[in-house]
Amino acid sequence: MARHLITSALPYINGIKHLGNLVGSQLPADLYARYLRARGHEVLFLCATDEHGTPAEIAAKKAGKSVADYCAELHQVQAELARGYGLSFDHYGRSSSKENHALTQHFAGVLAEQGLIREVTETQMYSPQDGRFLPDRYIEGTCPNCGFESARGDQCDNCTKQLDPVDLIDAHSTISGATDLEMRETTHLYLRQSAMKDELEQWIDTREGWPVLTTSIAKKWLNDGDGLRDRGITRDLDWGIPVKKGTEDWPGMEGKVFYVWFDAPIEYIACAQEWVEAGKGDDWKKWWRTDKGADDVTYTQFMGKDNVPFHTLSFPATILGSREPWKLVDYIKSFNYLNYDGGQFSTSRGRGVFMDQALEILPADYWRWWLLSHVPETADSEFTWESFQSGVNKDLADVLGNFVSRVTKFCRSKFGEAVPSGGEDLPVSQEDLDDLVEKIRTYEKHMDAIEIRRAAAALRSIWVWGNEYLQEAAPWATYKEDPDKAAGQIRFALNLAHLYGVLSSPFIPNASLEIRGALNSLDDSWPTDVPAALTMLRPSHAFEVPENLFTKITDDQRDEWQARFAGKRD
């Protein structure tokens, strides 16, 4: 049994996320965590709401609430939605926790002791109309590198070039739209990433098998222009973690807070501390401190490509620069973007399907299956209602659901609601059985490698195998001539249905539980011995015919939903 630490990029607190956000980190992370647990490994799966920064302040003001109250409320909303999608976090924390306050201030103190933080007096964009300094992400304009018209003050999401607000063409405040921006002096702390460049590059080169997307972005940022830049880690804001050196005040930094991108990744560690504080675990250090046992942990992070620079450079610079024995990430699974029906998901314009709305329409497994089987691993992918309808109807309803329904209903009609006796336990050729075993091992290989699309295709092929067996064996025809032989065939098919319930659990956990529950066996043992797994349900074992596992999406429903989610959400 191995030990696996898994973290998902933290969803931001300002509102409900759309399906593109879900498939970009949390859902694939949950798939992997569920799979590893099913294989018997020890897993700690952590996530939290990212609660600091200007967007939280603005969203709270718009809602007429204090920032603290707003964040507490939205944390509960997001936690409930996570449960709705079956996200199996061991703990879902908050970056505003007291643990993260203390740990962020600790890291700032030790980084300062190592000479990796410098004070910089600089001019920053100030908006007289808004009465405040504007954080980089609240300044937009045209990218000077690629011409993208919605580049932000810190980065262009189109070409990923790192920017300063003054680089933007026709810059404006995204709060008020004001264009009369001016530069004013302020003093901030900078993390001396440039001093860590060689060490970071050497560390990245030791990471094995990272996706090309991850390494290409990291290398680009390492060598872009003059090389890796120092990065500001404080802001002139009211809401956030106060700037301190450990527990001591930091002269000249009064009234400032740490930049959200400095404290948010530190929350991964703090979340484990919160996990212990909540009584869910007894030792967070064995997961995060290499001097306390974490050296045998495999740490995997999941995130969208826009988060890669911070997780390959800034956060590792914090960890390495501390010179303390913290666990570093072993593998970063990054994703491209999921687009929506000919365009982009848009939170501001309400374009696309949001997590709460999706669950109002259909159960979570419908969404889990389509999103994971179309996850944007190697390139951007696109959600269309036609593709979603096809995936639900053909994969879930016609292949998996149809198999379970046909087998249980036929058995009930001919043998009653109990596993029949008679016939062979394994009424298939050795060649066919070997083919099934090979398909299962292929599925496992792709899951082990976190090749999610390939894993989904492999799982579907296992479902298809059962339907092909059923068509070839034709127990309904066999029954007329040899009821005993038909009993063996249908007993084998019932065991196959149970096997599908186990194998499918990482992708569609609710349907998996429903299948195994109907078959009166919640045994979820992974099939290391496939023949044994296919003879587990013995004669006279009682079962029930499940309700229709998956309802097909009609053309009328598809058209209605396409029109409903084309524009502004209610």
The answer to which of 3-7, 381-385, 564-568 has the lowest mean pLDDT is 564-568
Q: Do 31 and 107 share a structural domain?
A: yes
Q: What is the mean pLDDT of residues 210-226?
A: 87
For residue 545, being part of any structural domain is answered with no
Structural domains counted in the chain:
3
Q: Do 165 and 26 share a structural domain?
A: no
Q: Do 47 and 32 share a structural domain?
A: yes
What DSSP state is assigned to residue 155? B
For residue 165, being part of any structural domain is answered with yes
pLDDT in tens, 171-193: 999 888 999 999 899 999 999 99
Q: Which of 276, 305, 335 is the last residue of a domain?
A: 335
pLDDT in tens, 263-286: 999 999 999 999 999 999 999 999
For residue 349, being part of any structural domain is answered with no
Residue 186: CATH number of its domain: 2.170.220.10
Q: Do 44 and 20 share a structural domain?
A: yes
List binding-site positions for Zn(2+).
143, 146, 156, 159
The identity of residue 542, as a single letter, is A
The pTM of the full predicted model, rounded to 2 decimals, is 0.92
Q: Do 137 and 92 share a structural domain?
A: no
Residue 93, token pair as written in the block: 């924390």
Q: Do 140 and 95 share a structural domain?
A: no
pLDDT in tens, 99-155: 999 999 999 999 999 999 999 998 888 999 988 888 787 899 999 999 999 998 888
Residue 487: CATH number of its domain: 1.10.730.10
Q: Do 279 and 178 share a structural domain?
A: no
For residue 380, being part of any structural domain is answered with no
For residue 282, being part of any structural domain is answered with yes
- Enclosing domain of residue 139: 117-191
Per-position DSSP letters for 188-254, written without gaps between them: EEEE-GGGGHHHHHHHHHH--S--HHHHHHHHHHHHSTTSSPPEE-EES-SSSPBPEETTEE-TT-T
Q: Do 216 and 96 share a structural domain?
A: yes
For residue 152, being part of any structural domain is answered with yes
pLDDT of 277 reads 97
List binding-site positions.
143, 146, 156, 159, 347
Residue 48: CATH number of its domain: 3.40.50.620
Q: Which of 131, 160, 191 is the last residue of a domain?
A: 191
For residue 378, being part of any structural domain is answered with no
Q: Do 160 and 59 share a structural domain?
A: no
Q: Output the CA torsion sign for 389, 395, 399, 404.
A: negative
Give CA–CA dist 348/416, Å, rounded: 56
Q: Output the CA torsion sign for 140, 146, 147, 149.
A: negative
For residue 340, being part of any structural domain is answered with no
List binding-site positions for ATP.
347
Contacts of 409 (CB under 8 A, 6+ apart): 545
pLDDT of 348 reads 67
Q: Do 412 and 331 share a structural domain?
A: no
Could you tell me what percentage of the chain is helix, strand and coil, using 3-state DSSP and rounding each to the nearest 5? 50, 15, 35
Q: Do 128 and 112 share a structural domain?
A: no
